[in-house]
Amino acid sequence: EDKVVQSPLSLVVHEGDTVTLNCSYEVTNFRSLLWYKQEKKAPTFLFMLTSSGIEKKSGRLSSILDKKELFSILNITATQTGDSAVYLCAVDPHLFSGSARQLTFGSGTQLTVLP
Amino acid sequence: DTAVSQTPKYLVTQMGNDKSIKCEQNLGHDTMYWYKQDSKKFLKIMFSYNNKELIINETVPNRFSPKSPDKAHLNLHINSLELGDSAVYFCASSPDPTGDQPQHFGDGTRLSIL
């Protein structure tokens, strides 16, 4: 069974700090790894990673994938209170040619940024 | 102009009742999904429809029946509600089931069973 483990489960930092969120996975055939940010409602898409070692960046957020060691990290620099949310990692396995996306989510990391 | 919208946002009902949650997307996507998020925040896929046809049906009780009248709508009907059905149900959509585009989620429907 596919498995996604995120750490830490929760994190409390002060504004301006840099945080690193971890996601490790076990999947039979890997297609992609996705990061989502969930505030009070809908998870919103952050990054999709398919290749090892290529950093994806969006503002203060960046993410990288290591397919050999089966993990990904999400970095947030100069954190702001608006970054407070649950960050979800999901893995999309490649089941067979043309197979439908079937994401397996981790339990998330609850990030709280204090002023 | 909400992309993926679900109704209702909150649903409080008693055990044994039958209820429906509706989902609509205006993104022109072909594929829609239902997820269940439990109290520990795990999001688990329940169903996926592509162009009105069921393509993923995870191990969920057959009390849950999805219906897709057209590719912009995917409704979820639940019969004989049980306490364990209490969760947040998210609808999502993507352009196609296998492509490289991420899923877009609705705001969720919080279902509470008394």
> What's the pLDDT score for residue A97?
57
Considering chain A, what is the average pLDDT of its residues?
91
In terms of Cα–Cα distance, which of B91, B110, B88 is closest to B12?
A: B110
Q: Which CATH class is domain B4-113?
A: mainly beta
Residue to test with chain A: of B105, B107, B110, most A Cβ within 10 A: B105
Q: Do B48 and A102 touch (CB under 8 A)?
A: yes
Domains of chain B, residue spans: 4-113
Residue B45 at interface with chain A, using a CB cutoff of 8 Å:
yes
DSSP B41: -
Chains A, B: CB pairs < 8 Å? 57
Record the tokens describing residue B87, joined without a space: 């969760």
Q: Which of residues 11-30 of B touch A (CB under 8 A)?
A: none
Q: Which CATH class is domain A3-114?
A: mainly beta
Between B79 and B57, residue with greater pLDDT? B79
> What's the pLDDT score for residue A93?
79
Q: Is the pLDDT of residue A95 over 90?
A: no
Between B41 and B25, residue with greater pLDDT? B25
**Whole-number Cα distances in Å, B31 to A27, A97, B49:** 23, 17, 6
